[in-house]
Chains A and B, each alone.
Chain A
Amino acid sequence: MNTIVVAENLTKHYGDFPALKGVSFTINEGECFGLLGHNGAGKSTTLKMLYGLAHVEGGQLSIFGQSFKLTPPEIKRQLGVVPQEDNLDPDLPVLENLKAYARLFGIDRRQAQAQSLMMLRFMGLESKEDSLVDALSGGQKRRLVIARALLNSPRLLILDEPTTGLDPQGRHLVWQKLRGLKSEGVTMVLTTHYMEEAAQLCDRLAIMHEGLVLTEGTPAELVAAHVLAYVIEIRLPLDAIPPDISDRLREFGGEALPVMEGLFLYTNEGNRLWQQIGGWGLPQHACFLRPANLEDVFLRLTGRGTEP
């Protein structure tokens, strides 16, 4: 498999603040790679380095085998960029937005028209052709930005929080379109703080926290490597939970993690633990058993679990 992005030990400071403290990852051709993290984890900065809005301060970054400190135009020509903010042109109607952007890539007038119409159709926006951008819903704007990013048939599509702020319908529609692109072999890198989005779309992901990559792998690998298979969420305030639960769970062969105001019990034997907890003084109606998922990996690794 071809590796098309190699990031090694990337660092970046904003003034004295270290935004990236040594970020490394690789992206292979044809895969969807996710950067998962809280706001301020360094995801957007990392993407801005990829698409040429931020200088590489320290470390090495290469795309399509060419390394650089600031992404040169010939590489940007092969990228599609969906930035965090919908920076569409409010002065232009929907179709003109796409045509003007296509022309920026040196695509000739006729081709720009054809390509723009095709992308509008692909994104389900053909009926909005003459609308002004401000008249679009949040989901429609987001799809228009994605359509714009596809005009130049990019080899690598970069999406910074593609569904943040969208309602569930809008989010699912965007996911469908992105899955469609993935099946056509478009390589993607996206940032998100939605675990469901990462699980739905990403082949591999890196969890970022405070400017570092904590771990990297497929969603299943990450779950297997970092948490036990089942969780019982105890939805009670900490002071209403018997204090000896952690010890009892450890004897049982599990691990407890305080999450905000509650407690999560991790185990490989979900059903057996479920039978036990009544005897430990935990009412079942306040407990909830489910398989562990990425969210648990995230809570555990980023330490948010331990915050009061």
Chain B
Amino acid sequence: MTGAFRVLNRHWQVFARTWLHNLMFNVAEPLLYLSAMGFGLGVMVGRIDGVTYLEFIAPGMVALSAMYSATFECTYGTFLRLHYQKTLQAILAGPVTANDVILGELLYGMLKSVLFGAVILIVVSLLGQIPAVTAIFIPLFLFLPGAVFAILAVSYTALIKNIDQLNYYITLAIMPFFLFGGLYFPVSNLPDWVQVINWFNPLYHSIEVCRGLALGQPPARLWWHVAVLLVMILTTAAIPLRLMKKRLLL
């Protein structure tokens, strides 16, 4: 495991040089969504479950940004390091195992998830859209969805040979997570069967917990979502290790 953290440290040194560039991209998008939906749709919606529309969607922006950070790092980022820059092969020639290299990718995705989620949280708090102090637990919580999205992304990236195939993942997995995750409207508006499927949607659980913490909802309900994310991590963690090892080692 110390090997994995040494790999993470290498990624961190790259991050320390490129974070500003990274941040602009990751912060701009949720803020654009927030302002367009908040101002455009918010006027028509009024209040949802007793909170303003902006307060309803602001925590979702945090969860969304966290999902995107881990997803892009562990799809495009990992693909580039594996196939174009050959960084992963360079690292693997050093004193680490293939598992260390792959865990390093996952940890980096998780870390970026937490960092960029935290940045959005600070921004929307400054905009006055986060009423409850329990929101300070959100960055800590974001490790869980960060792990799920990193695991999914690395697994998919290990399966493909062409960078264009990443579009399938974004369009067929990430977009539905986003559209049905209950970001812009309560999931209870959706048909029952969609709500059932949504239990497999990690973004749904992430949004529910972020919103619960941001609005100061009773914690009992939130633990269920935390538990589901934990189960997702435990049941899938071996998959990216297995798949990516085939790509790294002849």
CA distance A217 to B89 in the complex (A): 32
A contact residues around B97 at 8 Å (CB): 72-73
Q: Is the CB of B94 within 8 A of A105?
A: yes
Partner of B95, one of A14, A70, A76, A99: A76
| Closest Cβ neighbor of B248 among chain A residues | A53
Binary per-residue interface labels of chain A (4-33) against chain B in the complex, 1 for a CB within 8 Å, 0 otherwise? 000000001010000000000000000000
Does A90 interact with chain B (Cβ within 8 Å)? yes
Q: Let me know if A45 is at the binding interface, CB within 8 A.
A: yes
Assuming A73-B97, A91-B17, A92-B17, is B6 touching A52 (CB within 8 A)?
no
Asked if A96 and B17 make an inter-chain contact with CB atoms under 8 angstroms apart, the answer reads: yes
Query: Which residues of B lie under 8 Å from residue A55 when comparing CB positions?
Result: 249-250
**With a CB–CB cut-off of 8 A, which chain B residues contact A101?**
10, 90, 94
In the bound complex, how far is the Cα of B246 from the Cα of A175, in angstroms? 35
> Contacts A73-B97, A96-B17: A87 and B249 contacting too (C-beta < 8 A)?
no
Give the distance in Å from the alpha carbon of A213 to the alpha carbon of B10 in the complex.
38
Q: Evaluate contact between A52 and B93: CB separation under 8 angstroms.
A: yes
B167 at the binding interface (Cβ < 8 Å)? no
Residue A37 is within 8 A (CB to CB) of chain B in the complex? no
* A: number of interface residues (CB 8 Å): 33
Report chain B residues within 8 Å CB of A103: 6, 9-10, 13
User: B7 within 8 Å of A by Cβ?
Assistant: yes
Per-residue A-contact encoding for B72-99, CB less than 8 Å = 1, 0 else? 0000000000000111011111111100
Complex interface: chain B residues within 8 A of A99 (CB): 13
| Residues of B with C-beta under 8 A to A235 | none
Decide: A81 near B87, CB < 8 A? Known: A89-B14, A100-B10. no
Interface residue ranges of A84-109 to B (CB < 8 Å): 85, 87-92, 96, 99-101, 103-106
Q: Complex formed: what's the CA distance from A23 to B104 in Å? A: 34
Q: Which of B10-26 contact A (CB under 8 A)?
A: 10, 13-14, 17-18
Is A182 interfacial (CB 8 A cutoff)? no
A48 to B250 Cα, complex, angstroms: 8
Which of B18, B91, B100, B250 sits near A14, CB closer than 8 Å? Answer: B250
A131, chain B: closest CB distance, angstroms: 14
Q: Are A104 and B91 touching (Cβ within 8 A)?
A: yes
Kindly list 19 other residue pairs between chains A and B, CB separation below 8 angstroms, not including A85-B86, A104-B10. Answer: A51-B93, A52-B92, A53-B89, A54-B249, A73-B96, A73-B100, A87-B86, A87-B90, A89-B14, A91-B14, A92-B13, A96-B17, A99-B13, A100-B13, A101-B94, A103-B6, A103-B9, A104-B95, A106-B95
Query: What would be 25 A-B contacts, judged by CB atoms less than 8 Å apart?
Result: A53-B89, A53-B249, A54-B250, A73-B97, A76-B94, A76-B96, A77-B94, A83-B86, A87-B86, A89-B14, A89-B85, A91-B17, A91-B18, A92-B14, A92-B17, A96-B17, A100-B13, A101-B90, A103-B6, A104-B9, A104-B10, A104-B95, A104-B96, A105-B94, A106-B95
